[in-house]
Copies of this chain bind each other. A is one copy, B any other.
Amino acid sequence: MGLRHPKTDQIRLEDVFAALSNPMRLQVVRVLAASGPVPCGSLLDGVPRSTLTHHWRVLREGGLIRQEAVGREYTLTLRRDDLEQRFPGLLDVVLRAAAVPEPG
């Protein structure tokens, strides 16, 4: 069973925002933006596997990440160029906004 990834021109803005509407997923986007591709297992320590699977799916189906099998593990990559092509400037502003301190 292949994992579903929307084509660049099929990425929907409401799905992007839904993917970004959770602090854990926003954090994953920030980490991937800073680091490049990352094995799934090295993100979000201590979070149950079913929760992780859900977050990867929402990010993947929203068009924010690619999730690809590399050997026995999945690797996550931010779709930076695809997002820039589809919604110019959006990702940069999201990353800047995510760096603003949250209320205590």
Which A residues fall within an 8 A CB radius of B? 9-15, 17-18, 20-23, 26, 86-90, 93-94, 96-98, 100, 102-103
Contacts and interface: CB of A to CB of B under 8 A. Distances in A.
B9 A14 contact: no
Given A12-B102, A88-B96, A89-B96, A20 B17 contact: yes
Contacts of A90: 93-94, 97
A50 to B, nearest CB: 21
B100 A89 contact: no
A65 to B, nearest CB: 16
21 contacts: A9-B103, A10-B103, A11-B103, A12-B102, A12-B103, A13-B97, A13-B98, A13-B102, A14-B20, A17-B20, A18-B18, A21-B21, A86-B100, A87-B96, A87-B100, A88-B96, A89-B93, A89-B97, A90-B93, A90-B94, A93-B93
